[in-house]
Amino acid sequence: MDNLIALLIAAPLLGAALLLCGGRRLDGAGHWVATVLAFVSFLFGTVLFADMLGKAADDRTVQQQLFSWIPVEGFQADVAFQLDQLSMTFVLLITGVGSLIHLYSVGYMEHDERRRRFFGYLNLFLAAMLLLVLADNYLLLYVGWEGVGLASYLLIGFWQHKPSAATAAKKAFLVNRVGDMGLSIAVMLMFTTFGTFAFTPVLESTGETSEAMLTAIGLLLLLAACGKSAQVPLQSWLGDAMEGPTPVSALIHAATMVTAGVYLIVRSGAIFNAAPDAQLAVVVVGAVTLLFGAIIGCAKDDIKKALAGSTMSQIGYMVLAAGLGPIGYAFAIMHLVTHGFFKAGLFLGAGSVMHGMNDEVDMRKYGGLRKYLPITFVTFGLGYLAIIGVPPFSGFFSKDKIIEAAFAQEGARAWIFGGIALLGAGITAFYMTRVMLMTFFGKQRWQPDAEGEEPHPHEAPRTMTIPMILLAVGSVGAGAFFSIGDRFVNWLAPVTEFEHPHPVISVPVITASTIAVLLVGAALAYAMYGTRPVPVTAPRGSLLTRAARRDLLQDDFNHVVLVRGGEHLTRSLVYVDHTLVDGVVNGTAAGFGGLSGRLRKLQNGYARTYAVSMFGGAAVLIAATLLMRAV
């Protein structure tokens, strides 16, 4: 049974190897191979899950040591897995949603000539993501961490012939590398502090080192999480990442990979618990991103970018919860799972809309699609209700808990972070209602595409609608299912610890105000986009809108400071290397050359010149001898 853990990863890895090395022979059946292997992995996951349920709650952790990876004196890194309730949750989410998205892609990528490679990358992603959540030490986690980064790079840039896609892919990888730097320094700090980087020994001996050290490790882990989970200040790549095919956005940039940062923080809970300053930083990052993403989401006209802003914001919620300590870990993960369902569903819905609209992404050119895409409309609508947190859909349960936990702090913090979380709920309702209205309601604003072809919106094939329906079921029921009898919290408690939050205001008041805020947000959006016709070209908008359309000027800042600055630096260094470093050497050579040129002039061929030098030499010798004698 324990060997299944390795097989869980091996199945999609095999798929990736087959599809990427197999060549054209697999063009015909490759996508089904990949999809079946994803489902096989899901099957293994459920078997392990059933097995785990059969054990006592505090005896559910399974370890599997595969082999010794890097054996060097004083340094032990193993390929070893640890499956506990936390990783189990992720395994089911990854393989479950992953399999559905494989299925969806069969339809979505049907006409792409490089479909085989696409599925190879998807399988590679699954394997890396599973490795990330199953690793029993930080170094192996790092392998998965970079592995998903690679898969994300390959998939964002899948349509490489578009320069924008290639640039977006590169940007995602580079920004993530900055985060990775944090992770690798954190691992090195762990090694110097604890002599190991396996989860259990590190997390159990946090009491033996100073708080300053733990704060440093915590902040570095936070940096890593910021990169992977698109949190401020490393969030800029996520919007551009929407250049990838939509199933990729759903799987990697909504449901699974971007939540890896939350996993990292929750997994390292013991470190953060002992480092309150690092925890505060986590909460601040979460709160800032929550608003940042939401504001961007309000201004984007590209449906996928609006959803990307939303993803950023929702992960902000999770990070905020994860920063609250034992009162928030379980809620962070719960929101992560429900978000996995509804956001994947929303993205697949967006993909289905694009499928019917000649790949148009501008919502101003949609309108009135509910008649043409009934299944998409219903599933998207359910996802919408879930994300804005209408009871009893999933988002309500998970987000409400996070808001409660945010209010359960000392002094002013409760009001600041609670208030931000509450405000975020309102903005979420606003931008999602806006997306909903612009896409499915109002007048038809379709326009012929670049080749002059009028779109004929049609419902997607069944391979695409089935995953959408299944995810919609998740977005409807998961929250309630998890919350009744605190099922989810109890399930995770042995791993993440749990304390009941005690908010500064009573829970019913918080719930009521959350619902009130979201109604206000939705009503505002209705007033702006439901009652008036939506212009096809975007109005100029306020200063904030314009800034938000440009990702709140983050990209401009990056461009001016990092890109330009970097270009100047490298260019001047190339100059320095050529003129200064090489110049010294070439100068020495030229100096010798010049000197020998001068000396050569003495060889003029006249015998008497040579005679003079001989006489002169003899005279000097004699003079020297006489002088030596005299002294």
226 or 517, CB closer to another protein? 226
Q: CB-based burial of residue 72 (10 Å sphere; 0-12 exposed, 13-18 middle, 19+ buried)?
A: exposed
Give CA 331 to chain center in angstroms. Answer: 20
Coil/strand/helix, residue 198: strand
The distance of closest approach from Cβ of residue 598 to another protein in the complex, given in angstroms and rounded to an integer, is 12
The distance of closest approach from Cβ of residue 373 to another protein in the complex, given in angstroms and rounded to an integer, is 33
The distance of closest approach from Cβ of residue 342 to another protein in the complex, given in angstroms and rounded to an integer, is 32
557 or 610, CB closer to another protein? 610
151 or 425, CB closer to another protein? 151
Q: CB-based burial of residue 13 (10 Å sphere; 0-12 exposed, 13-18 middle, 19+ buried)?
A: buried
Rounded to an integer, what distance in angstroms lies between the CA atom of residue 121 and that of residue 248? 10
171 neighbors 157 (Cβ within 8 angstroms):
no
Rounded to an integer, what distance in angstroms lies between the CA atom of residue 33 and that of residue 39? 10
Rounded to an integer, what distance in angstroms lies between the CA atom of residue 102 and that of residue 90? 17
135 or 232, CB closer to another protein? 135
The Cα angle at residue 180 between residues 179 and 186, in degrees rounded to 5: 100
536 or 584, CB closer to another protein? 584
The distance of closest approach from Cβ of residue 123 to another protein in the complex, given in angstroms and rounded to an integer, is 15
The distance of closest approach from Cβ of residue 500 to another protein in the complex, given in angstroms and rounded to an integer, is 33
The distance of closest approach from Cβ of residue 12 to another protein in the complex, given in angstroms and rounded to an integer, is 14
57 or 212, CB closer to another protein? 212
Rounded to an integer, what distance in angstroms lies between the CA atom of residue 396 and that of residue 401? 8
Rounded to an integer, what distance in angstroms lies between the CA atom of residue 286 and that of residue 314? 9
Please name the helix (run of DSSP H) or strand (run of DSSP E) that holds residue 460, with its range, or none.
Answer: none
Q: Does the N-terminal peptide bond of residue 392 adopt cis geometry, omega within 30 degrees of 0?
A: yes
Alpha helices, H only, 135-162: 138-156
The distance of closest approach from Cβ of residue 554 to another protein in the complex, given in angstroms and rounded to an integer, is 18
The distance of closest approach from Cβ of residue 521 to another protein in the complex, given in angstroms and rounded to an integer, is 39
DSSP label at 455?
P
298 neighbors 548 (Cβ within 8 angstroms):
yes
20 or 403, CB closer to another protein? 20
Number of H helices, E strands in the chain: 26, 2
252 or 387, CB closer to another protein? 252
The distance of closest approach from Cβ of residue 143 to another protein in the complex, given in angstroms and rounded to an integer, is 4
197 or 263, CB closer to another protein? 197
Virtual torsion, Cα 348, 351, 355, 359, nearest 10 deg: 180
